[in-house]
């Protein structure tokens, strides 16, 4: 049994399907919305294009490993894991997990792609909570090799290990949270940076253009291959302990100043929108998204070539 | 007059010297410590090595544009700009800026490489405050093409424009803060992320290894060529306004949870140090630093090739 069930055939579902099918899994896809289903393989074609940057893709073979199913039962029956990728709404996710439980064997792992919601909440109504996790990808999961697994306190260790193996086989780098927290690691790190970017802009210290430059022409170049704890190890001759001892006063002082909560009022969002439109056209969003995917693939390829 | 004075010949000073000399400036270097001076051109050789990734470097020509001076007066006399790169200590910086004022023409821009200190404090005792700025590079400035210019309220607009031109000519991408703030943009964004990374680790949600992976295998790949406001523009069909309207509730909720101030106690730093040493050797720090510089240069080269 090498089946992966995907529930929800939008961009995230399609991206997961390509990621799994590209590494030997048979992927069974279901979506209740016929319009999304009819568009599905067009999206798959586009996503497969990005993979060409790594190596030649046998598109026919890839697509033959992905099957659209008529009902939920079909994707549940013989699957190792079901990757729920529906809308980010707790009630909807709770409902669909109850459906999974109806049809899936007790050995099947039930994984939500939620970027924020707690697995204990999503699995609240289930009898077999031990096989439920959140497995949150980084957008878009067919080129970014990352998934964060968040178990609830009821998830079994065996399920965590099995899930790790499944994602590793599909060439993802899985991380595992030790206990659940909203936003997990990825969106908590991203949110901390985003909130500070908004504070700097809203309080008039810097333009959105200059803040973007600070990330993409400085911090981001390092962060493309080094994490914060690896970087701190290089910032003083004695390593990370030496670094934190030297710099803790400043880092703490910043933390004390960074605890206001941006309000994100309608007025502020309008201001952001209008400043953004002065420098970036909304009409080339699709083109910019394509370019983003291409650059992600190129940076990832460069890292692989360098053994990273 | 195409002279740049560099005060402080350590790693930052040497890195600036290479950056300026590589783009047509004559660089005059002074350091009060003879040991640092005697090591200076060895460091220059190493730094020039990283530049070979972009294009062949004429090392002899590069080095002939860098002159070690015997006293502070020599680097001040005919320089467009003095890049102060001494130790990060307010009193020391205040003292050296008074020295600059003694020897430099009133047209010479006085720029501090401080990563944190306010230009109004550094220039507090000076008569001619209008030509003082902080110009903070990203480590290491010979390969990272970034500088953030922070004026005080006394800095003249003319000086800001002149400084921007000087850094642009040396192929840096300068940003300009609209008013001064400790840590400027770069270290405030970095600090916000670092503090959240420490919260997640200290409170037992994730290992340092898994947090590093979240950055380097997911967030950082995007941030290598897109800033936070550019990314938000791609996260919903209607652009940045649509994105913030959809996600503000979650982003605000995270901000509310991210306002504790990590204490960075000796005990916690010891724990970090010991976990770090389980996965990374202190003895290969130099090798890892070299690899960091090489990868920064490679990512930057890739971006340039892609027109970014």
Domain regions of chain B by residue span: 3-176, 186-305
Domain A186-305: CATH architecture, name and number where available: Orthogonal Bundle (1.10)
CB spacing of A200 vs B188 below 8 angstroms = yes
Element (H, E) at A165: helix A157-169
Positive/negative CA dihedral, A27, A33, A34, A35: negative
Q: Across chain B, what does the average pLDDT equal?
A: 95
Look up the ipTM and state it: 0.97
Q: Tell me the shortest Cα–Cα distance from A59 to chain B, in angstroms.
A: 26
Q: Tell me the shortest Cα–Cα distance from B239 to chain A, in angstroms.
A: 7
Q: What is the pLDDT of residues A261-308, one digit of tens each?
A: 999 999 999 999 999 999 999 999 999 999 999 999 999 999 999 999
B-chain residues within 8 Å CB-CB of A177?
A: 205-206, 210
Cα-based distances in Å from A54 to A22, A48, B204: 12, 11, 36
Cα-based distances in Å from A257 to A112, B32, B181, B261: 35, 36, 11, 9
CB spacing of B189 vs A196 below 8 angstroms = yes
The pair of structure tokens assigned to B153 is 């309220």
Residue B145's pLDDT is what?
Answer: 82
Q: What is the pLDDT of residues A73-114, one digit of tens each?
A: 999 999 999 999 999 999 999 999 999 999 999 999 999 999
Res. A1: pLDDT tops 80:
no
Domain B3-176: CATH architecture, name and number where available: 3-Layer(aba) Sandwich (3.40)
Q: Are B135 and B112 in contact (CB under 8 A)?
A: yes
Picking from B137, B193, B268 by the largest number of A CB atoms within 10 A of its own CB, the best residue to mutate is B193
Strands B146-151 and B132-137: antiparallel
A-chain residues within 8 Å CB-CB of B258?
A: 188, 191-192, 195, 259
The CB-based long-range contact list for B63-69 (8 Å cut-off, 24+ gap) reads B63/B21, B65/B21, B65/B25, B65/B26, B65/B27, B66/B17, B66/B18, B66/B21, B66/B27, B66/B29, B66/B41, B67/B26, B67/B27, B67/B28, B67/B29, B68/B9, B68/B29, B68/B30, B68/B37, B68/B40, B69/B28, B69/B29, B69/B30
B-chain residues within 8 Å CB-CB of A285?
A: 233-234, 237, 239
Q: What is the pLDDT of residues B18-73, one digit of tens each?
A: 999 999 999 999 999 999 999 999 999 999 988 888 888 899 999 999 999 999 99
CB spacing of A229 vs B296 below 8 angstroms = no
Neighbours of A133 (CB within 10 A): 26
Strands B3-7 and B26-30: parallel
A-B C-beta contacts closer than 8 Å: 373
pTM comes to: 0.96
Q: What is the pLDDT of residues B148-184, one digit of tens each?
A: 999 999 999 999 999 999 999 999 999 999 999 999 9
Q: How far apart are the first and last CA of chain B?
A: 32
């Amino acid at each position: 049994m090498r089946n992966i069930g995907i529930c929800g055939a939008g961009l995230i579902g399609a991206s997961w399907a390509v990621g799994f099918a590209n590494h030997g899994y048979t992927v069974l896809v279901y979506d209740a919305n016929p319009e999304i289903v009819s568009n599905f393989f067009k999206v798959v074609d586009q996503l497969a294009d990005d993979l060409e940057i790594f190596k030649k893709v046998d598109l026919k073979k890839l697509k033959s490993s992905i099957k659209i199913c008529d009902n939920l039962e079909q994707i549940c029956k013989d699957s190792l894991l079901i990757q729920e990728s529906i809308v980010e709404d707790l009630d909807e996710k709770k409902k669909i997990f109850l459906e999974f439980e109806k049809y899936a064997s007790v050995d099947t792992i039930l994984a939500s792609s939620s970027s924020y919601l707690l697995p204990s909440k999503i699995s609240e109504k289930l009898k077999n909570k031990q096989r439920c996790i959140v497995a949150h990808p980084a957008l878009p999961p067919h080129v970014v090799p990352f998934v964060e697994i968040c178990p609830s306190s009821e998830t079994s260790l065996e399920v965590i290990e099995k899930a790790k193996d499944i994602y590793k086989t599909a060439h993802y780098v899985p991380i595992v949270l030790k206990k659940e927290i909203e936003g997990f690691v990825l969106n908590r790190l991203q949110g901390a940076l985003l909130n500070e970017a908004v504070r700097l802009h809203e309080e008039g210290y810097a333009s959105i253009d200059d803040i973007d430059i600070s990330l993409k022409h400085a911090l981001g170049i390092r962060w493309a291959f080094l994490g914060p704890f690896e970087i701190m190890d290089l910032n003083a001759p004695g390593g990370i302990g030496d670094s934190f001892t030297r710099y803790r006063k400043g880092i703490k002082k910043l933390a004390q100043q960074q605890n206001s909560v941006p309000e994100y009022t309608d007025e502020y969002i309008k201001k952001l929108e209008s400043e953004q439109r002065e420098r970036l056209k909304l009409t080339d969003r699709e083109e910019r998204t394509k370019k983003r995917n291409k650059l992600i693939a190129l940076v990832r390829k460069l890292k692989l070539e360098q053994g990273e």
